[in-house]
A and B are shown apart, each in its own frame.
Chain A
Amino acid sequence: MKHGTVVGVLLFAFFPLYMMLNISFKSNAQYYSNSVGVTLPLHTENWGRAWQIVHEYLPNSLLVSISSTLLGVVGALCGAYFFARLRMPGARILWALLVILLMMPTISNLVPLFVLLKNLNLLNTLTALILVGAATMQALSIFILRDFVANIPNDLFEAAEIDGASHFQQFWNIVVPLSGPIAGTIAVNGFLQSWNEFMLGLVVIRDTDLWTVTIGLLRLDGEYLKEWGTLMAGYCISSIPVIILFVFTMRLFIRGMTEGAVKG
């Protein structure tokens, strides 16, 4: 019975994936007549058209997501070290501020954020997306990472201190290597979030050659007579980098989630 449940759930979970692939090979007429089954002939030109549209946006998306994830993880790791290593004066207040930040509705920030970006002359640049993406990642990441750093036994740190290591050396030699799996999980999450994010980009980026893949696909969505095949092919193409990412970080999800997730 347990196998039955699990397999059943998996079927439902894979259904959208199947549909995405299936529809990407249909022409509109095929889609109307039979949306669920596989229809022949397979219209591979949908993928060609989707690639035409999407390939300009891929470098943008990749740049933004990778950069913001890297910056986010580095910033969060440093911040977690600060909060977890020693209870410095003032840390309590800062921590409370951080927790409060987690609860703020982000939508109302959109306009002041926009005005801020305008004043910094960052409108219509990818840098804006990178910086804001990194900032958004921070709160939750610091939360999780702090617990993790706090769980590293103190003796390691104390030993290093005795041997004369500065805080930076302690950080670099102890925290960073140990944090591999958990930082990886956070990085993957951050990457996914940044990849799928479009609200800010829609508002900040005006030049079409700076659009990210998600925004570009939204444009396809708005077409009057939706070309379902091309649309789904576009989404498939945009999922490919994510799939590659998952292949490499599979281990993390299978094992690395034991850290941090339970305590969190």
Chain B
Amino acid sequence: MKGQNISLRQARYHLSIYLFLLPCALFIGMFAYYPAVNGIYHSFFQWNGGDVDRFHGAQSYSKLFLADTEFWLAFKNALILGIANIFKMAPSIVTAVCLHRVRNARLQFVYRVAFVVPMVIPILVTTYLWKAIYDPSNGALNTILQSTGLMKALVWISSSAAHLSENFDPLGFFSWLGALFRAGENPAWLGTPSLAMLALILRDFPWVGTFGVLVYLAVLQSIPRDIYEAAEVDGAGWLSKFRYIELPMILRQVRIMMILVIMGSINDAGLVMAMFGIEGGPGGVVQVPALFMYREAFQNQNLGYACAIGVVMFAVILICTKLNDWLVKPGD
């Protein structure tokens, strides 16, 4: 925060500035804080949203920590998705760098305009598209795999992994890999428990988000020209330029985004629900914590329990943020 500290005495002269707080305090206080606090309050109750409102202390929490292993499995899923999402930031970065290096200014302008246009597409449309691609009998993915023979390669990988898993199987990875693809079958990406998570991660190939590209591009364009010229004088090729100039800048931005990405994967139920439905996929394999909470609230009517889940989710995110700060600060 900038500016000097205004002590209580001096504040008298600047009282009018508190008025500026009014509109946003009103909005946030009423429509964001009150429900949140209400949610915390109700997490100690057994509530169905209407007339049933019984105080029962920390029962929801004990049930959550002791009895509901499903919830913690959901966190594992969110973690996997979050880490995958972080890796999926890479293609955007690469594209931004390529875009940045384009020398022709007019062409670059045209490209930038072109990157803005796809933001118009509603999310549901891409969901339909990917569900159609993952369709086992008619979808594009299986058709391409079969016709290019990639399917055979995948089956070979699977069978060798299966053999390997008999001797050496860290974390069950090889036996999982071994069961993925079998000869002669059209894999059901959204219907098979073992493939469902993979399908969710692979969605949106080539994983370039147009908005992300523009943000990274903005980062890159704030690098002063002189550094580039100095590097060229030193004889740096494009790879070294990337490693020493651009990468550090981008990594700083990435570190900031990282926590947002993980937070997003814990907090967001819509994506999984759109692809898989409210149980979270076959066998509930792709459940994320937010989906679990949504189901408890709107299908099982355990609103008090859902509020408790919300509080726990929030606590986890708080811990993650603290961790992120602690890990990121020294390097910054």
Q: Please give the residue numbers on chain A whose beta carbons come within 8 Å of chain B beta carbons, in ascending order.
A: 1-3, 5-6, 8-10, 12-17, 19-20, 35-36, 71-72, 74-76, 78-79, 81-89, 91-92, 94-95, 97-98, 100-101, 103-116, 131-132, 134-136, 138-139, 142, 150, 154, 166-168, 171, 192, 196, 199, 214, 217-218, 221, 232, 235, 238-239, 242-243, 246, 250, 253-254, 257-258, 261-262, 264
If the complex has contacts A107-B290, A116-B34, are A196 and B120 also in contact, measured as CB distance less than 8 A?
no
A134 touches B27 (CB 8 A): yes
B3 touches A261 (CB 8 A): no
- What is the CA–CA distance of A136 and B266 in the complex, to the nearest angstrom? 18
- List the B side residues contacting A95 at CB < 8 Å: 1
B3 touches A87 (CB 8 A): yes
- What is the CA–CA distance of A250 and B38 in the complex, to the nearest angstrom? 41
A103 touches B314 (CB 8 A): yes
CB distance from A1 to the nearest CB of B (A): 8
B32 touches A89 (CB 8 A): no
* Chain B residue nearest to A128 in the complex (CB): B31
Whether B152 is near chain A, meaning CB under 8 Å from some CB there, is no
* Chain A residue nearest to B220 in the complex (CB): A262
If the complex has contacts A71-B27, A83-B1, A108-B39, are A16 and B129 also in contact, measured as CB distance less than 8 A?
yes
- List the B side residues contacting A35 at CB < 8 Å: 132
Our pick among A85, A116, A235 for the contact of B35 (Cβ within 8 Å) is A116
Our pick among B8, B20, B30, B34 for the contact of A171 (Cβ within 8 Å) is B20
B293 touches A85 (CB 8 A): no
B310 touches A112 (CB 8 A): no
Our pick among A12, A79, A218 for the contact of B20 (Cβ within 8 Å) is A79
Instruction: For chain B, give the interface size range.
Output: 35 or more
* Chain A residue nearest to B126 in the complex (CB): A16
Given contacts A1-B98, A10-B111, A108-B306, 12 further A-B contacts (CB under 8 A): A5-B98, A10-B115, A13-B210, A75-B27, A86-B17, A94-B21, A103-B318, A108-B311, A134-B27, A139-B32, A154-B2, A239-B122
- List the A side residues contacting B294 at CB < 8 Å: 107
Whether B309 is near chain A, meaning CB under 8 Å from some CB there, is yes
CB distance from B94 to the nearest CB of A (A): 7
Our pick among B118, B218, B307 for the contact of A14 (Cβ within 8 Å) is B118
Q: Is the interface of A mostly helix, strand, loop or mixed?
A: helix
* Chain A residue nearest to B315 in the complex (CB): A103
Q: Is the interface of B mostly helix, strand, loop or mixed?
A: helix
* Chain A residue nearest to B22 in the complex (CB): A78
Q: Identify 19 residue pairs between A and B in the complex whose beta-carbon atoms are under 8 Å apart, listed by A's number.
A: A9-B95, A16-B121, A16-B126, A16-B129, A78-B23, A84-B3, A87-B2, A89-B8, A91-B1, A101-B28, A104-B36, A105-B310, A113-B31, A115-B49, A136-B32, A168-B19, A254-B109, A261-B215, A264-B256
B18 touches A82 (CB 8 A): yes
B112 touches A254 (CB 8 A): yes
* Chain A residue nearest to B37 in the complex (CB): A112
Whether B123 is near chain A, meaning CB under 8 Å from some CB there, is yes
Our pick among B22, B35, B205 for the contact of A112 (Cβ within 8 Å) is B35
B206 touches A12 (CB 8 A): yes
- List the A side residues contacting B208 at CB < 8 Å: 9, 12-13
B32 touches A87 (CB 8 A): no
Q: Nearest 10 pairs between A and B by C-beta?
A: A108-B310, A79-B24, A135-B31, A2-B98, A112-B38, A112-B35, A109-B35, A135-B27, A75-B23, A13-B118
